[in-house]
């Protein structure tokens, strides 16, 4: 089961653990805001719509920051930009704990989103270029399993940790903990941690006196891949955010649970999500990336409906096991993004392509986040969450019919991609 890890050299293992830990804390920093929304509404005197608009603005900023960060890692190296992005989002997560008004929180979370958007893509590219192609899904899926761990940490911070302080202080403490990931920059070695594939491509560009521009992913040969990958990202993240971002609010408003109990339930969902990512990562290398996206997308729709509309009220005997199965599919949907996007884009534009596709989807998903409270003005919150979740999965399924299957594919340079296109 862990043969791929035993095959990896010491540098690859260190990069794996550093990227994994970075993604854990990246996810925690992003999700803790969503889980703190009920407390922020009370403490800052904002509305649910305003709270949603802050989250949406942060994800739009993540799209811009992610695309720029991906392009920078193509130009200046994966490891160096990974250090910068981890430090950036850590500092602005910490500063979020000092906000006093809606406007202040909005600005800080926008700046936080710039670094948050680039970290995952840069780390996924760095590790994806080091791993044996037949194990790429397993390795990057294992890194993605850090997301439910981060969500669980966020749930603990927003639930029992925040509840142990005065309400006006507890949410601030939850944000202040976000400075911890900055320590990870000391485990990354700038130049020596870049992959041989990237170094060869960079040396080739220097010898040919060429460079890859920020808009290279929109050239005719790449435009279709870029747009379809972005739509896949939009669908998966839009569906997940439509439900996950309002779970604590749903639990307190419609299920009648306390904030701390709702936090524990989200933590339990995250446990299921960890196993969802691991299962996805293994079957993705066997069944292919597209098939796994379809299976987990449909599983998400079924279990989200059961979780939101089941007639068990606040009965934890039902909510706990069903929530774990729901979390299995919600988080598991994400596990093939890393390997699939790494394989779709050539080396010279892999950072910018992967970061743009993932984060443009995230930015578009911000419309789903903002849309839930708007739709909830005409129907129950649970129905609004489910409606937008269905729209999201529909968007995700279409690209799986049009994009190529890439499982096991050796990573290509731009010149190899050109030769492949010419031969066909």
272 Rama sector, left if φ>0, alpha if ψ -120 to 50, beta otherwise: alpha
Return the CATH number at 150: 1.20.1250.20
Helix (H) or strand (E) holding 296: helix 289-309
Q: Which of 136-145, 355-364, 376-385 has the highest mean pLDDT?
A: 376-385
pTM, two decimal places: 0.83
Measure the CA–CA gap between 403 and 19, rounded to whole angstroms.
27
Q: Does residue 207 sit within a domain?
A: no
Enumerate residues 6+ apart whose C-beta is below 8 A from 217.
223, 226, 345, 349, 352, 353, 356
Query: Which has the higher per-residue pLDDT, 192 or 129?
Result: 129
Residue 19 pLDDT level (bands cut at 50, 70, 90): confident
pLDDT in tens, 94-116: 999 999 899 999 999 999 888 87
Structural domain harbouring 345:
10-193+214-416
Measure the CA–CA gap between 393 and 300, rounded to whole angstroms.
9
Q: Does residue 199 sit within a domain?
A: no
Q: Does residue 200 sit within a domain?
A: no
> What Rg do the C-alpha atoms of the chain give, in angstroms?
20
Q: Does residue 340 sit within a domain?
A: yes
Q: Does residue 1 sit within a domain?
A: no
State the total domains in the chain: 1
Helix (H) or strand (E) holding 293: helix 289-309
Distances (CA, A) of 261 to 48, 256, 268: 20, 10, 11
Measure the CA–CA gap between 257 and 332, rounded to whole angstroms.
26
Q: Does residue 274 sit within a domain?
A: yes
Q: Does residue 209 sit within a domain?
A: no
Enumerate residues 6+ apart whose C-beta is below 8 A from 253.
381
Q: Does residue 3 sit within a domain?
A: no
Closest CA to 393 of 299, 306, 310, 327: 299
Under a CB-based contact definition with an 8 Å cutoff, are residues 305 and 157 in contact?
Answer: no
């Amino acid at each position: 089961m862990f043969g791929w890890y035993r095959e990896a050299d010491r540098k690859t293992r260190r990069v794996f653990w550093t990227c994994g830990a970075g993604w854990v804390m990246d996810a925690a920093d992003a999700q803790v805001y969503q889980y703190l929304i009920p407390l922020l509404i009370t403490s800052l005197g904002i509305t649910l719509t305003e709270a949603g608009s802050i989250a949406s603005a942060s994800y739009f900023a993540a799209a811009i920051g992610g695309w720029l960060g991906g392009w920078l890692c193509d130009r200046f190296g994966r490891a160096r930009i990974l250090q910068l992005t981890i430090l950036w989002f850590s500092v602005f997560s910490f500063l979020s704990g000092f906000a006093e008004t809606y406007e202040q929180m909005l600005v800080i979370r926008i700046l936080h989103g710039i670094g948050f958007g680039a970290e995952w893509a840069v780390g996924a590219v760095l590790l994806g270029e080091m791993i044996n192609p037949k194990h790429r899904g397993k390795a990057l899926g294992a890194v993605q399993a850090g997301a439910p761990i981060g969500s669980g940490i966020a749930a603990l911070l927003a639930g029992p940790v925040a509840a142990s302080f005065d309400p006006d202080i507890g949410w601030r403490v939850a944000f202040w903990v976000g400075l911890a990931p900055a320590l990870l920059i000391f485990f990354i070695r700038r130049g020596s941690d870049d992959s041989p594939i990237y170094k060869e491509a960079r040396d080739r560009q220097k010898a040919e006196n060429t460079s890859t521009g920020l808009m290279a992913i929109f050239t005719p040969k790449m435009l279709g891949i870029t747009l379809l990958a972005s739509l896949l990202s939009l669908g998966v993240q839009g569906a997940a955010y439509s439900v996950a971002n309002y779970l604590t609010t749903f639990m307190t408003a419609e299920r009648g649970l306390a904030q701390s109990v709702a936090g524990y339930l989200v933590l339990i969902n995250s446990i299921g999500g960890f196993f969802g990512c691991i299962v996805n990562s293994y079957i993705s290398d066997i069944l292919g990336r597209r098939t796994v996206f379809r299976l987990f997308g449909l599983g998400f729709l079924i279990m989200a409906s059961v979780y939101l509309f089941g007639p068990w009220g606040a009965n934890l005997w039902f909510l706990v096991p069903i929530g774990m199965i729901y979390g299995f599919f919600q988080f598991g949907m994400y596990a093939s993004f890393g390997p699939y996007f790494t394989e779709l884009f050539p080396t010279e534009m892999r950072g910018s392509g992967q970061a743009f596709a993932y984060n443009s989807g995230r930015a578009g998903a911000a419309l789903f986040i903002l849309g839930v409270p708007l739709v909830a003005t005409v129907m129950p919150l649970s129905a609004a969450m489910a409606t937008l979740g269905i729209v999201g999965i529909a968007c995700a399924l279409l690209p799986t019919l049009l994009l190529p299957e890439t499982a096991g594919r050796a990573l290509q340079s731009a010149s190899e991609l050109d030769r492949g296109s010419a031969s066909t």
